[in-house]
Amino acid sequence: MDILAQYQKEHPEMKRAVEPYGIADEYGWIVRFVIKLSGGRIRSARHATWVLGGIVVLVLGATAAIFIANFDILPPERFSEEEAAKQLEIYRKVQPF
C-alpha cells in the first residue's frame, strides 16, 4: 500500500482530489453542455456553474437596463395647470367599477 492510499484509509473525512475532466451524472444537462461547448476551457462542473451564474447576472442586468430605459419612472419636471386640468377631465370621464 502506498503512502497516499494509507493516508486516505486513515483519514476518510479528507477531501478527495477533483478529476479535471470528470463530469458526474449528478450534474444537470446544462452543466455538461457548457463544458462541452467551451472546447476545453471549462474543465470542471464547479467552474461551469460559476460561468452559468455569471451569464444569469449579465442577463438580469441587461433586462433591468432595458426595462428602466423604456419606462419613465420619474414624473415630468413641470406639470402645468392646463395639463392638470386635462388629466382631471380624463379621470372624471372614467366609469367606476
Is pTM beyond 0.85? Reply is no
Q: For residue 1, what pLDDT is reported?
A: 65
Range of the domain at 48: 3-93
Is the pLDDT at 7 greater than 60? The verdict is: yes
Is the pLDDT at 13 greater than 80? The verdict is: no
- How many angstroms from the chain centroid is the CA of residue 68? 18
The 3 state secondary structure assigned to the chain is CCHHHHHHHHCCCCCCCCCCCCCCCCCCHHHHHHHHHCCCCCCCHHHHHHHHHHHHHHHHHHHHHHHHHHCCCCCCCCCCHHHHHHHHHHHHHCCCC
Into how many domains does the chain fold?
1
For the beta carbon of residue 44, count every other beta carbon within 10 angstroms.
17
Residue with more model confidence, 46 or 18: 46
pLDDT digits (tens, 9 = 90+) for 22-81: 555 577 888 888 888 898 898 888 899 999 999 999 999 999 998 888 776 666 677 788
Q: Which three cell numbers stand for residue 52?
A: 452559468
